[in-house]
Structure formats: C-alpha cells, structure tokens
Amino acid sequence: MTDDLTRLPGAEIARKVRKGELSAAAAAEAFLGRAERLGPKLNTWIRLDREGALRAARAVDEAVAARKDPGPLAGVPVGVKDLVDMAGLPTTAGSKIDRDRIAREDAPIVRRLRAAGAVILGKLNLHEYAYGPTGHNIHYGDMKNPWNPARVTGGSSGGSGNAVATGQAAFAIGSDTGGSIRIPASLCGVVGHKPTFGLVSKAGCVPLSWSLDTMGPLALTAEDCALAMSVLAGHDPEDPSSVSGEPPRFMDGLGAPLRGLRVGHARRYYADRSEPEVAEAVERVAKALAEAGARVEEVEIPDQELATGANTALMISEAAAFHEKNVRERPGDFDPRVLDRIRPGLFVTATEYLQARRFRGEWAARVAREVFGRVDALLSAATPITAPPIAEDTAPLRGRKLAVRGLLVSLTRLWNFFGGPSVAFPVGSSQEGLPIGAQLMGAPFSDARLLAAVHQLERMGAVAPRRAPFEE
C-alpha cells in the first residue's frame, strides 16, 4: 500500500488530502520509507528530516480535520536541493566547506512551500556548489541514475532528479544556472521547469552565478510542475532580481490547447550535434505538435557562439567572486574538478565582464524580435546524449569523443543567458533503456503556456511520464 501512495502525482495527493481521503501523515510515511530504502543506494539525500516532515504532515491533517484550508500543496511530500536554507538544518551546498553551516531561517521559497501545506522531507544531494552538470560529488557520493546506476543523473540537481524518478519525493526543488534542472530531468526521465529569471525568489539560496541562477521544480508531470510554480512564483523583496507584478496563473492555463500554438523547431540548434536516437525522438514530438494543430516551422537562434562565450564569461566570473576567499584559503577542501572550474573566473577582466553584460542585452533583444516575433515556443532536445557512465569524462557522439560536461550543457545554457523559461520533458527511451529528453523554450513570462503545452502532449500520449523501475 505504501508504494502505491508513492505512485500518486503530487496534484492527486493534494486533492485526496484536502478531501480527507488520504492523510498527509500516511503519505509522508510512504515517501519517507521509500527515501530511506532507496536514497542510500542512489546517493539521493544529504539529510532526511523525518521528525520535521511528520510534524508538518500532522499539522496538515489537523487543519483538514478542523475544516481549515491546508493549502494547495496539502500533504505533498517535497525534497529541497541542499543549497536552499531551512531553519535549524545545515545548508551544505554539496560541499565539505559548508558542511556545518546551520541556516538561521527558512529561505522565502521554503516559507512559501510550508505555507501551502507541503511536507518537506529533507535536503537533496547535488554537484558541489551546483557547479557541474553530471551529479558527481566526492563528499556525499555520486548521484546515480535510477534507470542504470552506473550512469550519471545529470546535475547539478542530481538528487532532485533521481528522487522524483523513483518516488522518493512527489516533486523536488532544484536550481538551474546552465541546465541544472533540465539536464537531470532529461537524463532521469522527469519533467523539469526552469522559470523565467526573477520569477522565483533566490533569497536564502547559495548562488552559483547571480545573473543566471533560477530556482524551480522537477516532477513526474507538467501538472505537478505547474502546481509547484503556482506556489513558488511571485515577487520577493528579499531578492534584488525578483520581478514585480502578478505571476502567471499556472493551474488555470493548463487546459490551453495546442491548436494555433506557433512552435519554432530549432532543428539546426540540436539535430546534427545530438545522438540520432535523440534527434529522432524530438522529430516525433514536432510531428505530434503539428498533428494537434500547432503551427510548426523551422527557426534559427542567432549568434549562438558569441552568446555562449559571453554566457561563460558571466558565469565563471560571478562564481569566482562568490568563492574567492575559500579558493585562496581552503583550496584543498574543494572537489578538484570544481576548483578547476572556479579558478579561471578569477582572471576575467572587468572589461570582459561588462562587455558580456552589454552583449547579453543586445542578444536577448534580438532573440525576442527575430525568434519570438514569429513563434510562441522553441522545440529542441534537452540534452544531446542520454546518461553517460559515471566513470567516463568523454562520450562518443557521431564518431567523435567529446567532453561529457560540455555536451550536457550545450543545449540548455543559452536559455539562462536569455532569461526565458524552458521545460524539459521525457520523449522516449534509447535502445539501452535510458530516457531521452526534449525541451520547450519560451520568451520571458511564457512559463504557464509552456507547461500547458507539455501537459497537452502528456494527455495525447506523446509524452509518457513513468517512474523508474528501480528496485520495484
């Protein structure tokens, strides 16, 4: 019975709890039991908070019994990436350096989750300081892909990806600076939403790159991501980059039809630099969209190489600025691979940084004009390859051996630079049985429309979410 509960989507759990058909405590026990059994085998969690989770679940049940509104996430078991502050618990950011840094208060997004009735199970594993796309972590264990534990989860939100894929959490909070929500979503076979920059507060979250970071959900379905976003989105005065105004109405918009949606198929962006199986799977999505009445046309993304270079200059310099003191005083406490990524940022000049920021504004305006003047969304692969082996730094692609790290971020990072939303979602499996992911990318504040499109693809069967059969 308990494993049956962990198969329920988060939206269904909330509905049942609100109606009194399911107790939040029973749901919490079911997910905690699964997390305690599977988490150590997949290196999913840095810390489970059984006591805190059950206390929150009992509070939800008491509210239901008293006929009080428990909130839209009533009893939904959630995991939080361990770079988000939760009062009284360490925020390790996946590092040795911050292993004992205890948060004094909840981050605003944690406060939003709690106020909405979510039951937070604990802190999820991640690539150290969110600085890596694979999910390796020498301090807390490499995160393992539940479809094949010898493969990577993707990163940096690897614990978030394998938690959702295995029913250890109904949904999870991740961060995305260059693909860290969408990469594990793609490799683990779940849905991951990178919101519009500034739509979700980053206050109380350890940064990687202030001007590129976003926080968002991973879940089994687009509806669950929309439900999470309906709680997470909104202005926060504690976050200087937080946008003002009313957030999108995520749940109200889920029924928006695909007919008439203008979709740009960014074929030249991904097809020739992706595995043939990946390219073929995305082509099938393009055909499904057209058959559903969407207007699909090929679209080019301008100046990709220049944008990639400018994006790199921003990310590495901002990461180096944040970590400079520890790089100089405690270099031996970093994962050497992460340290090697931070150090080059110390040598980016102020001129290079400012030129990158200037170009970003010009490029974003050009994309808005030339791309989103024609279409409502862009379709692409999310990752050009399926999950590579944990032990390998390179992967074969169309007859060449290429660096895994570069491959995994190659199709996601530009959307952090642009600042618009992107949703990664599963579109099939490779011959090896590994998930294949696509993504829909949009203009700023088109988040709800993208999630609605993925939801409609799920209803059609073109996207078929399923839990990984790990230790069933």
Q: Could you tell me how far CA 70 lies from the centroid of its own chain?
A: 26
Q: Is 180 a known active-site residue?
A: yes
Complete DSSP assignment for 122-160: EEE--SGGG--SS---TTT---EETTEEEEE--SSSHHH
Residue 400: how many CB atoms within 10 A of its CB?
Answer: 9
For 122, residues 6+ apart whose C-beta sits below 8 A from its C-beta are 35, 45, 46, 47, 48, 49, 53, 79, 80
pLDDT(326) > 60: yes
CA proximity to 189, closest of 385, 415, 464, 391: 464
Tell me, what DSSP letter sits at residue 271? G
CB 193 within 8 A of CB 32: no
The answer to whether residues 416 and 311 touch, using CB atoms and an 8 Å cutoff, is yes
Q: Is residue 242 annotated as a catalytic residue, yes or no?
A: no
Percent helix, percent strand, percent coil in the chain, to nearest 5: 40, 15, 40
Report DSSP letters for 320-387, one per residue. Answer: HHHHHHHHHH-GGGS-HHHHHHHGGGGG--HHHHHHHHHHHHHHHHHHHHHTTTT-SEEEEES-SS-P
pLDDT in tens, 242-264: 999 999 999 999 999 999 999 99
Q: Which of 156, 157, 160, 186 is catalytic?
A: 156
Q: What does the pLDDT read at residue 293?
A: 98
Provide the 10 A C-beta neighbour count for residue 124: 35
**Domain of residue 184, residue span:** 2-306+349-460
Q: Examine residue 335 and state whether it is found in any structural domain, yes or no.
A: no
Q: What is the total count of domains within the chain?
A: 1
Kindly report the CATH number assigned to the domain that includes residue 425: 3.90.1300.10
**Residue 329 within any structural domain of the chain:** no
The residue from 180, 201, 410, 446 that is catalytic is: 180
Q: Are strands 422-429 and 377-381 parallel, antiparallel or unpaired?
A: unpaired
- Strand pairing partners for 380? 439
Surface-to-core class of residue 224, CB atoms within 10 Å of its CB (0-12 exposed, 13-18 middle, 19+ buried) = buried
pLDDT range class, residue 90, cuts 50, 70, 90 = very high
**Residue at 240 is within a domain:** yes
Please report whether residue 184 resides in a domain.
Answer: yes
> Is 436:428 a contact under the CB 8 Å cutoff?
yes
* Secondary element (H or E) of residue 315: helix 304-329
Quick check: 262 and 430 in contact, CB under 8 A?
Answer: no
Query: DSSP string spanning 74-110?
Result: TT-EEEEETTB--TTSB--TT-STTTT-B-SS--HHH
Mean pLDDT along residues 384-388:
98
Report yes or no on 469 lying in a domain. Answer: no
**Residue 316 maps to a domain:** no
The CA distances from residue 274 to 27, 402, 449, in Å, are 40, 12, 26
User: What average pLDDT does this structure show over 117-142?
Assistant: 98
Residue 472 is predicted with a pLDDT of: 77
How many angstroms separate the CA atoms of 71 and 59, rounded? Answer: 11
Query: Is there a catalytic annotation at residue 156?
Result: yes
pLDDT tens per residue across span 288-317:
999 999 999 999 999 999 999 999 999 999
How far apart are the C-alpha atoms of 321 and 287, rounded to whole Å? 45
Within-domain flag for 173? yes
Q: Quick one: which H or E segment has residue 403?
A: strand 400-403
Q: Is the pLDDT assigned to residue 1 strictly greater than 60? A: no
* Residue of 441, 440, 438, 437 lying closest to 418 (CA atoms): 441
C-alpha to C-alpha distance for 469 and 160, rounded to whole angstroms: 17
What amino acid occupies position 161?
G
pLDDT tens digits, residue range 220-237?
999 999 999 999 999 999
Residue 376 clears pLDDT 90, i.e. is over it = yes
Contact indicator for 121, 35 with CB cutoff of 8 Å? yes
The fraction of the chain above a pLDDT of 90, given in percent, is: 98
pLDDT at 3 over 80: no
Residue 311 lies in a domain: no
Give the pLDDT band of residue 2 (cuts 50, 70, 90). low
Taking residues 392-402, report their average pLDDT. 95
**Angle at alpha carbon of residue 423, lines to 231 and 32, rounded to 5°:** 55
Q: How sure is the predictor about 465, in pLDDT bands with cuts at 50, 70 and 90? A: confident
Q: How far is CA 100 from CA 91, 206, 262, 276, in A?
A: 8, 14, 50, 46
pTM, full prediction: 0.98
End-to-end CA distance of the chain: 13
pLDDT for residue 460 is more than 80: yes
pLDDT in tens, 167-208: 999 999 999 999 999 999 999 999 999 999 999 999 999 999
